[in-house]
Structures are given as C-alpha cells and as structure tokens.
C-alpha cells in the first residue's frame, strides 16, 4: 500500500500568506467573503482602486476549489460558443465569450506583474478526443471557436501522441491562449498583491451572519461586527452556513486528483514535453498534466471521501497504466479532491442579493480565468456603480431544482463509470 499524502498544491506552493483572524470591529468600503480566485482577485482590484477593503476567509486562503484545482488556465467556458449564444442571446453571449477568451491573458499578466511564484506555463491546453465521437465534438468546437476568433488548432492522432506521450487519443484541440499554473500559489499570490495594495486579509474568520441596516452591510464574524458599504460573497462550492435569507444554489460535483513521483528523466521528454494541460472528451471526464517537478497528475470525477473511494483510487492506477504504460507503475504520492459548483446551464451567475451586494458562483469547473475576471469586475461595479464591465448581467434570483439529488446522481455516474472501465 502506497503512503499517500494529501493535496500536492499545499505541499509545493512557493507563495505564503500571512494573515490573522479578525479580532476587532471595522468599517470599510467593501467586504469580501471567501479567499479563492474570485475573492482574492476582487480584493486586489478593490484595494488597487484605493477602496478600503477587507477579505474574510473561514479557513486559510485557497481552502476551497481554488487550492484543489487541476491548474488549467482555460479560455472560455465548457460550453461551445454557439450554445452560449443560444442560451444567453447574441449580445450577452458574445460579451461573455470575448471576456473569458481573454481571461488567461489576464491571469498570466497578473502573475507577471506581481511576480507570483506559481509555476506558470503558457504552452496551451489540449482537449483530447477519447473516441471517434469525441473527435467529431472537437471538430465542431474547432469550427465554432475559429468563427468566434479563437486561434484553435485541431491536431491529428499522430501529433496528439507526440505532444501527450499517449497513443490513446484520436486527435486533440489545441488552444494556445491557455496554460497551466500551480493554482494554490496563484491564489496566495493574488492575496499577497492585494495586501501590498492595502487590503486587510483575515483568515480563520467564518462569517456567520449578514444584515443591512439601511445604510451599510453589517457582517458578523468571530464575535465582531464589520460595517461595509458594499459586499461580495465569493464562497462558491465551499459556502458555509451564513445566517441570511439568501444562499447560492448549485449542484456539487466531486473531482479527485492523483500525483505520481516525478517522472524519470527519459520519460519527461516523452510525456507532455511541452507541458500542455490536458483533459478528454469523455462524459465522465479525466485530466492530466505535469507540474514543475515533473510529477504526472491524473484527475477524474469522484469523491475520495465517499463510498466510491476504492473504485476511484483503483481507476486512477488503471488510467495511468492505460494512458502511459511506461509510467503506469510509478508510486502515487499525493491524492486529494475538491467540490465543483455546477449550474444547470453551465453558466456562472452574479446574483444581486441586496443593496450593493453580489454573489458570484457556479463556474461549473472553469474558475481560474472566470473567477479572476468575475471577482475583479464585481468589485469594480460594486464600488463605482458602473456595471458595464461585468461579464454577465446580475440576476435577482437563481434556483436549482433537486440540487442534492442531482449531485448524488453525478457521483453515482462517476463511480459506475470508473468501476466498469
């Protein structure tokens, strides 16, 4: 039995955060709840604009999806562009596609500007066809993407094998705009930059209640009261009970990852020599990438803390052997998981739940670029009242039917697929 440790990103993040729990009453321009990509990007933008800013995080920075992520800094959403336009309408769809298409550029520019030590590799991503039907899907995505100005390239099976080091794929869609990062370090780096810009960061500070007294938001945390003119809730899939009539609604989907020991030298030049981040076209999808030390990281849907855990663990080993036979028996040294907040239409939401208050959530598995963009633009809109840079129009209500049941269904589907494959 291998001696497996937890989250790789916690073990290797070069960026450190120095924060303390909230221990006093405060009055600020904007309060942000949640220290993931959304909240940290918002804090950086708000403090950078000169606003007095406080960020409250229940655990430590990056405790949620942002510190458990695969690290694929993608352009756009999961949905192909035509579907986004069909769901949202011409103008709104085009605006969202354009803003999220530029999101990796924004992420990598922030990394450079603030010197964030997060292993950035901007060599693109590969969406790999796991079957002939998957290749048809990629051909359609290629056609649509290029029509919307995305510089995508469709690769044949030979080129895909050369780049990935695996002969299992029928082709791949290459997106040169995207890349990979160490996600927890990116999140911590954003918060370091926000602190340098003047933001107060309080971790180990759970917000337990919210109310509006007609003038400002009153936020209760750690037995203290914080008054804020504007409020951003950035708790996404890790939302902890806050006493307020509103709570973000989404389906939770678990995703697990397994990191090997660093690849031996000869295999590093065979497996992902260019460092592209990859995922496949399967309905129960999987991902793979390497980190800066050359560890191979395989990911797939499934809950490692649930009844299906042995199935998911066995699947990871089989997947490794199938994709990369020469690396198939490398020790798996780290395993961890996270929760993804999915919405039914796979489009993130900005919910205006009170005066001068937004909640951003439901990135549906795409949070690095979108979280960075949504957080910063939400902070700007709350502070200035100008909503023109928001990627989507805020809504007053959002509900999801049978969210718990559908979350259980996703987990059942992942377990069944991993068991029979």
Ligand X SMILES: Cc1cc2nc3c(=O)[nH]c(=O)nc-3n(C[C@H](O)[C@H](O)[C@H](O)COP(=O)(O)OP(=O)(O)OC[C@H]3O[C@@H](n4cnc5c(N)ncnc54)[C@H](O)[C@@H]3O)c2cc1C
**Smallest gap from residue 132 Cβ to ligand X (A):** 26
Shortest Å distance, C-beta 294 to ligand X: 19
Residue 236 sits in the site that holds ligand X (CB under 6 A): yes
Residue 36 in contact with ligand X, rule: CB under 6 A: yes
Cβ closer to ligand X: 105 or 270? Answer: 105
The continuous run of DSSP H or E covering 111 comes out as helix 103-113
Question: Cα(33)–Cα(231) distance, rounded to whole angstroms?
Answer: 8
| Nearer Cβ to ligand X (35/145) | 35
371 touches ligand X (CB under 6 A): yes
| Rounded least distance, CB 74 to ligand X, Å | 5
Q: How far is the CB of 226 from ligand X (least distance, A)?
A: 12
Burial class (CB in 10 A: 0-12, 13-18, 19+), 251: buried
| 206 belongs to the binding site for ligand X (CB under 6 A) | yes
Of residues 22, 29, 35, 303, which one binds ligand X by CB under 6 A? Answer: 35
Range list of β-strands (E), 242-366: 251-262, 277-280, 286-290, 295-301, 332-342, 349-354, 357-361
Contact flags string 332-361 toward ligand X, x per CB under 6 A: ------xxx---------------------
- Rounded to whole angstroms, the Cα distance separating 87 from 83 reads 6
Looking at beta carbons only, is 145 or 299 nearer to ligand X?
Answer: 299
Q: How far apart are CA 417 and CA 297, in angstroms?
A: 20
Q: Which of residues 56-75 bind ligand X (CB under 6 A)?
A: 56-59, 63-66, 68-72, 74
Structure tokens at 61: 């920075």
Q: Which of 30, 39, 278, 417 binds ligand X (CB under 6 A)?
A: 39
Closer CB to ligand X, 177 or 366, in the complex: 366
What DSSP designation does 249 have?
-
Residue numbers 160-199 binding ligand X by CB under 6 A: none
Kindly indicate which of the ranges 51-59, 164-172, 224-232, 380-388 contains the residues binding ligand X, using the contact rule CB under 6 A.
51-59
Backbone torsions φ then ψ of 144, nearest 5 degrees: -65, -45
Instruction: Report if residue 255 touches ligand X, rule: CB under 6 A.
Output: yes
Is residue 286 a contact residue for ligand X (CB under 6 A)?
A: no
Among 238, 250, 288, 358, binds ligand X (CB under 6 A): 238
The Cα 74–Cα 366 span in angstroms is 7
| DSSP code per residue over 286-319 | EEEEE-TT-EEEEEEE--TTSTTHHHHHHHHHHH
Interface stretch with ligand X, choices 37-45, 78-86, 117-125, 301-309 (CB under 6 A): 37-45
Between 65 and 93, name the residue whose CB sits nearer to ligand X. Answer: 65
- Between CA 77 and CA 101 the distance in angstroms is 9
The least distance separating ligand X from the CB of residue 362, rounded to whole angstroms, comes to 9
The dihedral region occupied by 54, where left means phi > 0, alpha psi between -120 and 50, and beta the remainder, is beta
Compose the 76-105 pattern: x for residues touching ligand X by CB under 6 A, - for all others: ------------------------------
Which span sits near ligand X by CB under 6 A: 53-61, 85-93, 111-119, 308-316? 53-61
Q: What span, in angstroms and rounded, lies between the C-alpha atoms of 45 and 233? A: 15
Nearest distance in Å: CB 374, ligand X: 8
| For ligand X, the closer CB: 67 or 171 | 67
How many residues sit in the footprint of ligand X (CB under 6 A)?
A: 42
Distance (Å, rounded) from C-alpha 141 to C-alpha 127? 10
Q: Does 234 bind ligand X (CB under 6 A)?
A: yes
Q: What's the CA dihedral at 187, 192, 196, 201 to 10 degrees?
A: 90
Among 127, 229, 239, 349, binds ligand X (CB under 6 A): 239
When binding is defined by CB under 6 A, the residue of 17, 19, 31, 34 that contacts ligand X is: 34
Please state whether beta strands 53-56 and 200-202 pair in parallel, antiparallel, or not at all (unpaired): parallel
**Residue 310 CB-density burial (10 A; 0-12 exposed, 13-18 middle, 19+ buried):** exposed
Alpha helices in 148-249 (DSSP H): 157-164, 183-196
Overall residue count recorded for the chain in this entry? 421
Question: Residues 135, 193, 207, 311: which binds ligand X (CB under 6 A)?
Answer: 207
Distance CA 363, CA 278 (A): 19
What 3-state class would DSSP assign to 87?
Answer: helix
User: Element (H or E) spanning 82, and its range?
Assistant: helix 81-88
For 363, the 3-state DSSP assignment is coil
Contact residues toward ligand X (CB under 6 A) are: 33-39, 56-59, 63-66, 68-72, 74, 206-207, 234-240, 242, 255, 338-340, 363, 365-369, 371
């Amino acid at each position: 039995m291998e001696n497996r440790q937890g989250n790789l990103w916690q073990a290797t993040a070069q960026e450190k955060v120095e924060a303390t729990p909230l221990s006093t009453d405060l009055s600020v321009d904007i309060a942000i709840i949640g220290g993931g990509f959304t909240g940290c990007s918002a804090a950086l933008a708000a403090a950078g604009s000169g606003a007095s800013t406080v960020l409250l995080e229940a655990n430590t920075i990056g405790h949620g999806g942002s510190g458990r992520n695969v690290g694929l800094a993608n352009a756009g959403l999961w949905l192909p562009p035509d579907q986004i336009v069909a769901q949202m309408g011409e103008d709104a769809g085009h605006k969202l596609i354009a803003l999220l298409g530029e999101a990796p550029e924004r992420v990598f520019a922030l990394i450079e500007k603030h010197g964030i030590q997060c292993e950035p590799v901007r060599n693109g991503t590969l969406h790999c066809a796991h079957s002939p039907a998957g290749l048809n899907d990629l051909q359609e995505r290629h056609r649509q993407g290029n029509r919307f100005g995305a510089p995508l390239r469709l690769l044949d099976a030979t080129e895909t094998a050369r780049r990935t080091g695996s002969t299992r794929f029928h082709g791949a869609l290459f997106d040169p705009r995207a890349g990979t990062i160490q996600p927890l370090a990116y999140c911590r780096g954003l918060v370091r930059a926000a602190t340098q810009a003047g933001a107060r960061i309080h971790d180990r500070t759970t917000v337990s209640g919210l109310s509006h007294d007609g003038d400002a938001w009153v936020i209760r945390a750690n037995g203290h009261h914080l008054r804020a003119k504007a409020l951003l809730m950035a708790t996404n899939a890790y939302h902890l009970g806050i006493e307020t009539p509103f709570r973000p609604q989404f389906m939770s989907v678990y995703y697990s990852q397994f990191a090997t020991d660093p690849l031996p030298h000869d295999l590093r030049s065979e497996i992902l020599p260019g460092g592209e981040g990859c995922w496949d076209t399967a309905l129960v999808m999987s991902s793979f990438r390497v980190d800066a030390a050359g560890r191979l990281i395989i990911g797939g849907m499934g809950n490692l803390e649930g009844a299906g855990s042995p199935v998911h663990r066995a699947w990871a080993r089989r997947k490794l052997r199938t994709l990369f036979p020469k690396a198939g028996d490398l020790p798996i040294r780290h395993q961890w998981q996270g929760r993804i907040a999915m919405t039914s239409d796979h489009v993130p939401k900005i919910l205006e739940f009170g005066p001068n208050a937004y909640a951003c959530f439901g990135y549906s598995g795409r949070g690095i670029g979108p979280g960075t963009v949504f957080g910063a633009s939400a902070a700007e809109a709350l502070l200035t009242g100008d909503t023109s840079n928001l990627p989507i129009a805020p809504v007053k209500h959002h509900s999801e039917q049978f969210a718990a049941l559908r979350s259980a269904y996703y987990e059942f589907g992942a377990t069944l697929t991993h068991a029979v494959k």
